[in-house]
Amino acid sequence: MAAAESELRSHGSGNSKAIDNEKDDAALASSNASDAGSPLDIDRDMEKSAPVEAISDQGHAPDPADPNVVDWDSPDDPQNPMNWSDKKKWSNIAVLSVLTLLTPLASSMFAPGVPQLVKDFHVTSQALETFVVSVYILGFAFGPLVLAPLSEMYGRVVIYNVCNVCYLAFTIACALSQNIGQLIGFRFLAGSFGVAPITLGGGTIADIMKAEKRGSAMSVWAMGPLLGPVIGPVCGGFLSNAKGWRWIFWVLAIAIGAATIGCFLVARETYAPVLLERKTKRLRKETGNEDLVSKLDLGITPKQLWIRSLVRPAKLMFLSPICALMSLYLAIIYGILYLLFTTFTFVFEGAYHFSESIVGLVYIALGVGMLLGLAILGTQSDPIMKRLAAKHNGGTPKPEYRLPLLMYGAPFIPVGLFIYGWTAQYHIQWAVPLFGTLLVGVGLLAGFMCINTYLIDAYTRYAASALAANTVLRSIFGAVFPLFALQMYDALGLGWGNSLIAFVSLAMVPIPFVFYYYGERIRTHPKFQVKL
C-alpha cells in the first residue's frame, strides 16, 4: 500500500515533466489523446508539421493535471515500450517477423501440391484448383476486421498468442482433411487467424520504435508478406515431390508451433493504452482510490469502444483519401504478386518446358529483386527521412518523407511486367523474362514497405486500424487476381496480358508523387477530417 502510494506520488510529480516534454518521442505512446473535437496528435515527432489527417477522438480524455490521472512515471519510464532497450525491441520484432513470414509462406507453399490433391480428391474444376490456394488469402480479408479492433481493446500480445494457437490447429486440420470441402474450410480459417502478425505488426512497430528508426524495423517485418509467397513454391515443390502434399502442412505446423512458443516466451505487450489501463487497475487495487483513471482513457464503455474500433478501419478506408488510395495501390501490387506466383508454373512449363521440380526455381528471381529492394530501402529509408527533415522542415520528420523511394521504385513494376510478358510471349531465352520479374520484385518491395511505413507514420496510434483496412483490400485483390489470370493469358496472350496489368500499375505511379507534394495539405484540410 505504501509502495503504491509512493509510486502514485512519484507519478504525480512526474506528470508535469511529461507534459512539459510532450514533444519528446519517449512520451509518444502516452501522449496520443486529445480533447474532443480537436485533431489528435498521433506522433510527437511530427506534431508541428504533420498532424494526422485531422483525426479526432470523440471521447473525453482526462485532464493530465488531475492527480488522479495515471500516466507514465516520467518521459524515461522503462515501462513505456518506447523506452525499452534495443535488445528487447528487436527481440519482439524478430519473433513478429518470423510469424509474418510463415503466414504468407503457407499461402503459396501448398500450390505445387495441388496436382496431387486434384488426383486424391478427384477434383475436375480448374477454378476449384485455383480457389483452394487463394481461399487462404480470402481469409486475410476477414481476419483483420475483428483482430484490429480486439488488439486496440485488449492489446497486441494476447491476440498474437490466441491467433497463433488457432492458426496451428487449423494448419494441422488441413493436413488431416479428407475431402476438398474440408480443406477449403480449414484453409480459410487458417488464413483468418494467421493474418494476425500481418494486420497488427505495423502497429507493434509503431508502439516501440521512434519515427526516425521505424524504417529499418519495417524493412525486416515487411519482407515476410512479399518473400514468403516467393519462397513457398520453391520449398513446396520439392517437399510435395518427396513426401506428398500433406507433408507441406505438417512442415508448416512444425514451424508455426516453434514460432508460437517463441512468441509466448519473448513477445511482450506494447500498446500504451492497454499498459496504462493495467497500471491504473493495479494502483486502484493497491491504494483503494477508485477515482484513478488512465491518461488514455476516453471515458467510453467497452461496448462503445468495440463499436468504434470495429468501424474505424472502414472509416479510414472510405473517408481518408490517403488511406484509400495508398491501400488501393498496395492492393494492386499484392494482386500482381499473387497473379504472378500462381501462373509462373503454367508459363514456364508451357513456354519453356521446365520440369515440375525445376519450375519452382523461377520464383527465385522475384525473390532476388525483393532482396535488392530490401538492401536499398532498408538502409536508405531512415537516412533519407532525416535528410529531408533537416533540409525542408527544421529537423522535424513528416510521413511524406517516406515516399521518395517509392517514387523511384514504382516504375520498376510496369517496366518489369512489359519485359516479362513480351519476352515470354516470343520464347526469348528464359533468363530475360526472369530479369523482368526481378525488376518487378524491386518495385513490389518498394511499394509494400514505403506504403506501410507511410501509413504507420501517419496513423501511429491507430496504425493497426489503418493496416487492417489496407490488409482487407489487398487480400481481396490477392485472392481474386489469380482467379482470372489463366483466362486472361488464354485470351490476350502473355504479352498483352502482362501489358494490361502493367498499364494498371503504371496508372498508380503518380499517387506517391501527389501525396509527397500535397499529402500534408490533405491531412490538415478540414474537409478530410475523420472522426475515429
DSSP string, 200-213: HHHHHHHHHS-GGG
- Look at residue 73 in the predicted model and tell me its pLDDT: 86
CB contact set of 304 (below 8 Å; sequence gap of 6+): none
Distance of CA 477 to the CA centre of its chain: 15
End-to-end CA distance of the chain: 38
**3-class DSSP state for residue 31?**
coil
Tell me the CATH architecture of domain 85-267. Answer: Up-down Bundle (1.20)
**Cell of residue 212, nine digits:** 526516425
- Look at residue 404 in the predicted model and tell me its pLDDT: 94
Could you tell me where the beta strands, DSSP code E, fall in 8-66?
Answer: 55-56
Other Cβ atoms within 10 Å of 527 Cβ, number: 7
**3-class DSSP state for residue 121?**
helix
**Cell of residue 448, nine digits:** 509494400
The rounded average pLDDT for each run of 10 residues, N- to C-terminus, in the chain (532 residues) is 50 44 38 32 37 48 69 88 94 94 89 85 80 86 85 90 97 95 95 92 89 83 81 84 91 97 95 90 88 77 78 87 94 91 84 80 89 87 90 88 94 97 94 96 92 86 80 87 87 95 96 93 77 66
**Cell of residue 405, nine digits:** 523511394
Alpha helix positions (H), 155-179: 156-175
**Cell of residue 338, nine digits:** 499473387
- Per DSSP, the residues of 365-386 read HHHHHHHHHHHHHHHHHHHHHH
Tell me whether residue 85 is exposed, middle or buried, using C-beta atoms within 10 angstroms of its C-beta: 0 to 12, 13 to 18, 19 or more: exposed
Q: Give the Cα separation of 111 and 137 in Å (integer).
A: 13
Q: Give the Cα separation of 349 and 289 in Å (integer).
A: 72
Domain coordinates of the chain in residue numbers?
A: 85-267, 311-531
**3-class DSSP state for residue 428?**
coil
**3-class DSSP state for residue 478?**
helix
3-class DSSP string for 56-106: ECCCCCCCCCCCCEECCCCCCCCCCHHHCCHHHHHHHHHHHHHHHHHHHHH
**Cell of residue 72, nine digits:** 507514465
Q: Hunting for cell 518506447 — which residue is that?
A: 82
Q: Give the Cα separation of 98 and 194 in Å (integer).
A: 12
DSSP state of 294: E
User: Could you tell me if 64 and 159 are in contact, meaning their C-beta atoms sit under 8 angstroms apart?
Assistant: no
Q: Give the Cα separation of 92 and 35 in Å (integer).
A: 32
User: Could you tell me if 417 and 436 are in contact, meaning their C-beta atoms sit under 8 angstroms apart?
Assistant: yes
176-208 in b/e burial notation, b at 16+ Cβ within 10 A? Answer: ebeebeebbbbbbbbbbbbbbbbbbbbbbbbbb
Residues comprising the chain, all counted: 532
**Cell of residue 136, nine digits:** 487462404
Fold entry, domain 311-531: Growth Hormone; Chain: A; (1.20.1250)
Fold match, 85-267 / 311-531: yes
- Look at residue 19 in the predicted model and tell me its pLDDT: 37
- Look at residue 223 in the predicted model and tell me its pLDDT: 79
pTM, to two decimals = 0.77
The sign of the CA dihedral 394, 398, 400, 401 is positive
Q: Please name which of 488, 489, 478 lies closest in space to residue 134, comparing C-alpha atoms.
A: 478
- Look at residue 7 in the predicted model and tell me its pLDDT: 52
User: Could you tell me if 512 and 450 are in contact, meaning their C-beta atoms sit under 8 angstroms apart?
Assistant: yes
Alpha helix positions (H), 110-125: 114-121
Side-chain half-sphere CA neighbours of 510 within 13 A: 5
CB contact set of 194 (below 8 Å; sequence gap of 6+): 102, 103, 106, 139, 143, 163, 167, 171
Q: Give the Cα separation of 139 and 189 in Å (integer).
A: 6
